[in-house]
Amino acid sequence: MQLFKPGQYNYNELYSNFRWDIPQHFNIGVAVSQFGISHPDRIALYYENDTGAQSQFTFGQLARESNALANALVGLGVQTGDRVGIVLPQRYEAGLAHVATYKIGAVSLPLSVMFGEDALKYRLADSGAKIVITDAAHRELLESLIPELPDLTQIIDCDDHTTLNGLESLLVKGRDKYTSVDTLSDDPAFLIYTSGTTGPPKGALGAHRCLIGNLTGFELSQNFFPSDDDVFWTPADWAWTGGLLDALLPSWYYGKPVLGYEAQKFDPERVCHLLQKYRVTNGFVPPTALKMLRQSEAVDRFDYYFRSMMSAGETVGAEIFHWTRDTFGIEVNEMCGQTEFNYIVGNCSALFPVKPGSMGKAYPGHRVEPVDRDGNIVPVGETGELAALRDDPVMFLGYWNNKQATQSKYRGEYWGLGDLCYRDDEGYLWFLGRDDDVISTSGYRVGPGEVEDSLLKYPAVAQCAVVGVDDAIRGQAIKAFIVLAEGYVASDELAQEIQASVKDRLAKHEYPRLVEFIDELPMTTTGKVRRVALREM
């Protein structure tokens, strides 16, 4: 199961000699619950929430109950290829829902609990989701959307312990024996919406083989995962690629427990307590979370057991790298990837020296180069777009119902990730910035179009434009430049009302933390907003 055994490796030999062995048939749900058949009593998930409630779940439970839920979903009419929405925080039922969905050959649609009405409605409508699995906190909102979502037939509430529509009743009715659909490795498994420069978010459709494609990077970024006592944790939402495919699913694939923490906000002291309590050894911790931990006086009061840590979503930087080393006793392995083409570049401090600030080297099995617009590799030291050869098991299947958007990212035989970078003479890749207007804030990619569309729904906003500005904690913060409609007067109170409207409609990470009222937007002669001028302002 493990691709690389710890030992005296040479990166160049490891990279040059590696070859993929992708089976014709593969199912993520079967793969990540298989451990429960031979080791039913091993812990799959430790769970706590911010009220102090705690529980734990075994791989045996995961195997049995995912079969029961698979039977129940089939009984509700879910068929191969149907989309199943999952609106849940870091709790057992979220992982269970994914595994069951994969087993029946359906497509999981992870949706963040931070999403508001507009964000949920768009994604559910665009995907044509048939069923949504959620909790009591989101049930009422989702049920209110049903009249506008003709494809959505049922809401399953994980906290409903009394009615037939509750998850508990479905698990009781469902038999714990199920013969999983014999999916091809290329069959679709998950649909994750990701923001772009223009227009609404696009659904990135991933295949079952994408989990296998993640594994070389996962193992090396976690310094030859797994080891005997490994326990994994990430603050990243399991609705995103980082939480789902960089943490939960690969940890379960290797039969290792994950710590799930359900909380309303990131609490550094509580996190440090949990890291000590559960003796967490491995983690994916985005730079924003590291910066928040660094600001907390509580960090020094706890003991830590980390043997590896990966970080991604934005640049770690030398200062945070050195602080992490001094605090946790490990060198953080920065990684780079995206939903469409994940886990392709990164570091492995157990294999080669980490250069603070560098995104690392291509992981085995991935051909990654800085290229020009035509897909030609640029010379060492010159700037190009980070791109990966498209003949790769980790590459997604394409954007949902949007072939043109998929092809727009082709750079000859490569896929362009949109990041500008260069390669140094030792093979390390260095991030220089985005070549588009996507904003990277707290590890999330936010397209300005969706935020601007939400702003324009507020009656006081006549025109607007959104850009990312430097932020010491989040990497970038979202700033909105607003031209007010006639009759409205700029004020701090009005700015707060506008911010709140976006937070309610979209998500807490997508609202503009900064608002500036201006008389007019800088425009090109063809009528396009000059975002570069706004950033200069």
- Tokens 């931070």 -> residue: 114
In this structure, the strands spanning 258-262 and 43-49 are: parallel
Task: Choose one of 207, 228, 243: the last residue of a domain.
Answer: 207
| Token pair belonging to 321 | 């790298």
262 within domain boundaries: no
CATH number of the domain that residue 180 is part of: 3.40.50.12780
User: Are the CB atoms for 214 and 343 separated by under 8 Å?
Assistant: yes
Rounded Cα gap, residues 477 and 492, in angstroms = 18
Say what the pLDDT of residue 9 is: 78
Q: Which residues contact 108 (CB under 8 A, 6 or more apart)?
A: 83, 84, 86, 97, 98, 101, 102, 189, 190, 191
Q: What is the pLDDT of residues 72-87, one digit of tens each?
A: 999 999 999 999 999 9
464: left (phi over 0), alpha (psi -120 to 50) or beta: beta
DSSP letter string over 400-414?
A: TT-HHHHHTTEETTE
Task: Report the residue count for the chain.
Answer: 537
Handedness of CA 296, 297, 298, 303 (dihedral sign): positive
Q: Which residues pair with 87 in a beta bridge?
A: 134
CATH code at position 479: 3.30.300.30
Check residue 105 and give its pLDDT: 98
Q: Is the dihedral of CA 408, 449, 532, 339 positive or negative?
A: negative
Q: How far apart are CA 430 and CA 407, in angstroms?
A: 26
- Decide if 335 is inside a domain: no
Neighbours of 374 (CB within 10 A): 8
The answer to whether position 86 is within a domain reads: yes
The structural domain count of the chain equals 2
What residue has token string 């976006």?
Answer: 502
Q: Which of 175, 207, 239 is the last residue of a domain?
A: 207
Element (H, E) at 502: helix 492-505
Sign of the Cα torsion 265, 266, 270, 276 reads positive
What's the pLDDT score for residue 162? Answer: 84
Residue 233 lies in a domain: no
The predicted structure's pLDDT at residue 440: 82
Return the pLDDT at 524. Answer: 58
Q: Do 239 and 444 touch, CB atoms closer than 8 A?
A: no
DSSP class of 304: -
Cα separation, 202 vs 182, in Å, equals 28
Query: Rounded CA gap, 54 and 64, in Å?
Result: 21
Q: Considering the chain, what is the average pLDDT of its residues? A: 93
pLDDT at 357: 87
Q: Which of 160, 159, 149, 157 is CA-nearest to residue 117?
A: 149
Final residue before a domain boundary, out of 162, 191, 207:
207
Q: How far apart are CA 241 and CA 29, in angstroms?
A: 16
| Tokens 């940890």 found at | 251
* b/e sequence 25-38, b meaning 16+ C-beta within 10 Å: ebbbbbbbbbbbee
pLDDT tens-place string over residues 138-176: 999 999 999 999 999 999 999 988 887 789 989 988 888
Segment (H or E) for 218: helix 209-221
The string over 263-293, giving b where at least 16 C-beta atoms fall within 10 Å of a residue's C-beta and e elsewhere, is beeebbebbbebbeebebbbbbbbbbbbbbb
Based on DSSP, count helices (H) and strands (E) in the chain, helices before strands: 18, 26
Ranges of residues in the chain whose predicted pLDDT is under 70: 196-198, 436, 524-528
Give dist(CA 339, CA 189) in Å, integer: 13
Buried-state track 302-331, b at ≥16 Cβ within 10 A, e below 16 = eebebbbbbbbbbbbbeebbebbbeebebb
The DSSP result for 448-491, as a single string, is: HHHHHHHHTTSTTEEEEEEEEEEETTTEEEEEEEEEEPTT----
Question: What digits encode the pLDDT tens for the residues 174-187?
Answer: 888 999 999 999 99
Q: Name the helix (H) or strand (E) containing 94.
A: helix 92-103
The answer to the question of residue 472 being in a domain is yes
* Tally of CA atoms within 13 A in the half-sphere of 255 that contains its CB: 15
Total-model pTM: 0.88
Structure tokens, 422: 């260069």
Rg of the chain's alpha carbons, rounded to an integer? 23
Residue 470: domain span: 439-536
Q: Is residue 255 part of a domain?
A: no
Is 276 domain-assigned?
Answer: no
What pLDDT is attached to residue 443?
Answer: 77
Residue 40 lies in a domain: yes
